[in-house]
Amino acid sequence: MITEPLIVIALCIVFYGAFSGWLAKTVISAPMIFMLAGLVAGQAGLGLFEISIENEVLEGFGELTLGFILFADAAATNSRKLLKESRIPQRLLLVSLPLTIFFGTAVAIGLFPNLSWQECALIAAILAPTDAALGYAVVTSKDVPERIRQGILVESGLNDGLALPAVLLFAALAFSAMSEQAHGLGYWLGFAAKQISIGAIVGIITGGVLGKLIHHADGKGWISHDFRNLTCIGVAILTLLLADLVGGNGFIAAFVGGLVFGSFCQRRAGSLTSFVEEEGQLFSLIIFFFFGAVLLPAALEHFTGFCVLYALSSLTVIRMAPTAISLIGLNLKLPSQLFMGWFGPRGLASILFLLIAVEHDDVGRLSEIEAVVYVTVFLSVILHGATASPLSRLYGKSAAAKADSVATAAPKAA
């Protein structure tokens, strides 16, 4: 029966909502509450309900949710200011992301000798993208300099789409290592280029055309008050699905489409963001609930101490070292580098990517891969959720935050 878990979800919404203003100032986050509620109420805890959800259902719901959130976050981003101060997200995406996958693969090979290098690389790729929603207090805090917040937000918005081809590549390599089916490097490079380029093109065209249309209709007063947010949501979902339909990356399309849409419809972008904060957040919280109730308990059956060691490494050195390397030459203070390195939470995208990888049923030792990924996400929800508000306030008061609030020119080469 689905009734019991829905009752628990509704109770979480009511009680967290009743104290949300106070809880927002504490170390307790909404994803933390929903995840722990699922874990405690589910079969692994009190056993109030027993439920089995097909991976395809969670995957489809997760794709829509992530695409919707990416579109809304991008629409609220100041695209003109982003173009002027794009060095931070460029470094994080083009340097830090591949280094994170490389470091993560190397550490996994050392900790899990029973896994093939392809499977280790799959773990690293799944855990490479970040989830700004788990550090929501960071990307919305006025204490944190805007260029730092925007860098974290843009990185989170685009790295999902950039990491997905790598996830599919290593899942296929792990599968082909045990079968006669294999593709060459050229195939996968072409696949990645197609995913990224077509996704970006779909986002630009859809966000631009529909953004201009809605801006014109809104200016004429043709859009009723009740349909203002729903119209924007339709654009977000349409952008995601059109990219998938023509062979592009839906997440890239959603974020790029949101940026373009927001540049045309700044008035609508603000209301859309408010909708995500108030109602749209519910979708991701439901996923975290079922993550705690269904996915995490199954993974914990294959739990080992090495899973925790890798998870802690993934949240610290595997993330923070590449971040620091990528920011060399941007004149950022060490506290700013550490702050950006720490706030790389793993959440919805990692859960979704693992569900996609599960489609390759013949990937060896998949249960161990699930355990590593889900333990990492679990610790990230707890640790990043607990530190988002206090560290944002502490960092915001630092001299480094004040010094790095304004972009400085990189030193010229001698």
Lowest mean pLDDT among 126-140, 319-333, 361-375: 361-375
CA 309-112-101 angle, 5° bins: 75
The answer to whether residue 182 is domain-embedded is yes
| CA distances to 24, 346, 357, 371 from 179, in Å | 50, 31, 16, 24
**CA 15 to chain centroid:** 26
375 three-class SS: helix
**Owning domain of residue 132:** 37-46+70-403
| Side chain identity at residue 273, one-letter code | T
Residue 227 pLDDT: 75
At residue 414 the predicted structure's pLDDT band, cuts being 50, 70 and 90, is: very low
Question: Rounded to whole angstroms, how far apart are CA atoms 323 and 330?
Answer: 12
The answer to whether residue 412 is domain-embedded is no
Question: Rounded to whole angstroms, how far apart are CA atoms 215 and 330?
Answer: 37
Over the chain, what is the mean pLDDT?
A: 83
Secondary structure (DSSP) of 290-350: HIIIIIHHHHHTT--HHHHHHHHHHHTHHHHHHHHHHTTTS---HHHHHHHHH-----HHH
DSSP letter (8 states) at residue 133? G
The answer to whether residue 411 is domain-embedded is no
The answer to whether residue 16 is domain-embedded is no
At residue 27 the predicted structure's pLDDT band, cuts being 50, 70 and 90, is: confident
Question: Rounded to whole angstroms, how far apart are CA atoms 217 and 232?
Answer: 12
At residue 334 the predicted structure's pLDDT band, cuts being 50, 70 and 90, is: very high
| pLDDT above 70 for 283 | yes
Closest of 128, 153, 160 to residue 62, by C-alpha: 160
| pLDDT above 90 for 33 | yes
The answer to whether residue 7 is domain-embedded is no
Residue 411 pLDDT: 47
The answer to whether residue 149 is domain-embedded is yes
Q: Stretch 324-335: mean pLDDT, rounded?
A: 92
Question: Rounded to whole angstroms, how far apart are CA atoms 109 and 402?
Answer: 41
- The separation between the first and the last C-alpha atoms of the chain, rounded to the nearest angstrom, is 69
| Side chain identity at residue 53, one-letter code | I
The answer to whether residue 314 is domain-embedded is yes
Q: Stretch 238-262: mean pLDDT, rounded?
A: 87
Question: Is residue 139 within 8 Å of residue 345, measured between CB atoms?
Answer: no
106-159 pLDDT tens trace: 999 999 998 889 899 999 999 999 987 787 778 888 889 888 988 888 888 778
35 three-class SS: helix
Q: State how many domains the chain has.
A: 1
Count of alpha carbons within 13 Å of 108, Cβ hemisphere only? 28
Closest of 318, 330, 252 to residue 86, by C-alpha: 330
Question: Is residue 127 within 8 Å of residue 189, measured between CB atoms?
Answer: no
Question: Rounded to whole angstroms, how far apart are CA atoms 296 and 171?
Answer: 21
Q: Stretch 395-414: mean pLDDT, rounded?
A: 71
Lowest mean pLDDT among 10-24, 35-49, 218-232, 358-372: 358-372
Question: Is residue 345 within 8 Å of residue 110, measured between CB atoms?
Answer: no
CATH number reported for the structural domain that contains residue 117 in this entry: 1.20.1530.20
Question: Is residue 289 within 8 Å of residue 42, measured between CB atoms?
Answer: no
Question: Rounded to whole angstroms, how far apart are CA atoms 19 and 34?
Answer: 14
Question: Rounded to whole angstroms, how far apart are CA atoms 300 and 394?
Answer: 35
Give a three-class secondary structure readout of 349-373. Answer: HHHHHHHHHCCCCCCCCHHHHHHHH
| pLDDT above 70 for 256 | yes
Q: Torsions phi, psi of 201, nearest 5? A: -65, -45
249 three-class SS: coil
At residue 16 the predicted structure's pLDDT band, cuts being 50, 70 and 90, is: confident
116 three-class SS: coil
77-111 pLDDT tens trace: 665 666 666 789 889 999 999 999 999 999 999 99
Residue 167 pLDDT: 86
The answer to whether residue 212 is domain-embedded is yes
Closest of 413, 414, 411 to residue 87, by C-alpha: 411
